[in-house]
Structure 1
């Protein structure tokens, strides 16, 4: 068995393992279907590559048609692997543009079929010898277009990940590129698809690990991450810190009046405002059903006060046009040194938030 075949067989094993993992949580995570589709499509593509080894005997005319059909499938499905992967990692953010994303791989599929007859992408001659066609590079560019979208989307969201996670994510993204580079340097060793297969598995494992660190609804860091960061900061940081705690007022009333979907939308918007208003100042978390928090390690609380002022103005702006009014009860506390004091600072901020909430209730009576 040559090196390429060994890599393909290893890739098949990795993909089957990845599909099995993703299928186990499909009911609770419906978005996994895009990942499974990507992995299954890649399995088919690698299958066409393995089958091509069986029908490439020079001079055997009976293998010409199967050889061409195999290449039609391989070229036609290649970009769809990365398209499905993009749908998996981008969730619903590109739903409105999804119809335009069909266009490149649809054209690629048509060109793949036509290549059976005219040899644009590939040519299998009368002696059953495979050669690249004049626009072979277009098929590769089509696939790279979708993989490029994956990279652009993930790079845009890079700051949402912890600093320790970013190198691993970048390595996962680079794996197919490394595979392509090896294939260019050593053409007989086909490492592009094994690289993508490995990247798919690693990315799924990485995303599942992130799933337990981030809140599914708002995309903010969750309570377990908040408590971990508090503990880490109290242990390693000797400088000042500020804790902000926010609670969405009358969320139950919003759910009862406008429906739970509107209540969820209110939480998402509240989380989004916190993330934007405290960008560069602190990390935002969703630590409960209607409760949020921010950790800031800025030297002076003045920057936190500016962010809170910006948050207040953004809430007023939102309530001028928003379908469901948003109101936040906010409390915060500052400590001069994180060491041994940060959890007490959190408790103080939480108590201040409840005091504010009670005053707001009395003001509405």
Structure 2
């Protein structure tokens, strides 16, 4: 980044003030107030991230693997804030004795910069990328790190002269370009989850991500601002809150909404919709699957069941996991014929998936229709649907 500083020279016997373009990597070539403001902002960012890390280690977000990736992003951001603070200090206390340290800090800072969006991309792509794609994702990181380290001698990304003056190199934008590469991938990964999480939730996440992107653009254009990593710290705190909110709304294994969300949605549907078809679905023989094949197989059966329901009722209704082996779909203002067709598709989808399973998925279901002008409230209609499901379950057992 760049900032203005002043130097003095003699011209025809007179002392004149001359503006010099001085640049900096993570620091500012300004006065003490600028340094103090940056250090205070970075300290607050570090404090907020330490608090977030404390919460994340005690309360795992989504699952342990994703939680570890989030912690890696947070710890990396703390390192970058500390490096940024160090460069601010060194820029305002230039000395030839600090040159080697100054170069090392800039090389390390520029090398680590793309790691934060990289970790967040991995967090949102677990289980969706092949091993080859995962390896290819690491190549830009390696190239950036090599170029940044070599810049200590080549000046490709930055150059610090013997007096401690910093200037940008021809490849100064390389770390920013690599970071944007991962940010674009992260946005694409978020958009792909639109079928799993509602678009309203994804919009919130995209807004959280746009904050540091906007700050990065501002800092590149207006070089007097040092705001990138402080904004990243705030965004990571907001992201943690976002993930915790998802845990209160979504069932982590199946990525569909949970019982708490179902209760709220059903209450709202009973007031806002003219007609709601309440479909109750139960996965048969889950206890037998757990006993014979283990709880991992039982978890797989629940996830496969949820996927079959999501696929069959796409565009028809919203699915929820309301119990261990029990699901419910709320179909708002949809004709009963559309629900019958979705259930028919669900039966066929279950048969297709059973061809490759050690144990078959057997789904019992029933539904009832709520009308705003009817006598029964939506909770009573749910009871009728549950009763219809148990009647279907009994018929399935008698057919065996």
Alignment TM-score > 0.5, same fold: yes
Q: 1: CA distance between counterparts of 2:129 and 2:48?
A: 29
Corresponding residue number in structure 1 for 2:383: 347
CA distance in 2, matches of 1:59, 1:319: 70
Q: 2:51 aligns with which of 13, 17, 22?
A: 17
Q: Which moved more, 1:248-257 or 1:24-33?
A: 24-33
Q: Give 1:321 deviation, angstroms.
A: 2.1
Contact kept? 1:56, 1:63, Cα under 8 Å: no
Residue from 328, 346, 351 that aligns with 1:311: 346
Alignment partner of 1:235 out of 271, 274, 288: 271
Q: TM-score with structure 2 length normalisation?
A: 0.85
Q: 1:173 aligns with which of 209, 233, 237?
A: 209
Q: How do residues 1-365 of structure 1 correspond to structure 2 at under 5 angstroms?
A: 1-2=33-34, 3-26=37-60, 29-30=63-64, 31-56=66-91, 60-94=95-129, 96=131, 97-162=133-198, 165-237=201-273, 239-337=274-372, 341-364=377-400
Secondary structure at 1:66 match in 2: helix
Change in Cα spacing, 1:99 to 1:338, as seen in structure 2 (3 Å) is: farther
In 1, Cα distance between the equivalents of 2:130 and 2:212?
A: 26
More strand by share: 2
Q: Name which one, 1 or 2, has greater alpha-carbon Rg.
A: 2
Q: Which runs of 4+ in 1 moved over 6 A?
A: none
**Structure 1 match to 2:30:** none
Greater shift, 99-108 or 344-353, is seen at 99-108
Whole-angstrom CA distance in 1 between matches of 2:153 and 2:60: 41
What do residues 179-201 of structure 1 show as CA deviations (whole Å, max 9, x unaligned)? 12332442211222122111111
Distance 2:175 2:203 in 1: 30
Q: In 1, are the aligned partners of 2:187 and 2:206 still within 8 Å (CA)?
A: no
Over the aligned positions, Cα root-mean-square deviation in angstroms equals 2.1
* Post-superposition CA distance 1:281-332 (Å, at most 9, x none): 1111111111111011133112111211111111111112223211100111
User: 2:315, 2:369 → 1: CA distance?
Assistant: 17
User: For 1:189-216, what per-residue CA distance to the aligned partner results, in whole angstroms no more than 9, with x for missing partners?
Assistant: 1222122111111011011011111112
Count of matched residue pairs: 363
Structure 1 residues 95 and 270, CA gap change in structure 2 (3 angstroms): same
Moved more, 288-297 or 301-310: 301-310
Deviation at 1:117, TM superposition (A): 1.1
Indicate the SS of the match to 2:367.
strand
Give the match's secondary structure for 2:256: coil
5+ residue gaps, structure 1 = none
Structure 1 pair 146/42, CA: closer, same or farther in 2 (3 Å)?
Answer: same
For the residue of structure 2 that corresponds to 1:90, the secondary structure is coil
Deviations 1:138-184 (A, max 9, x none): 21111112222222111222354456545433321211122123324
Q: Is the 8 A contact 1:240 1:338 kept in 2?
A: no
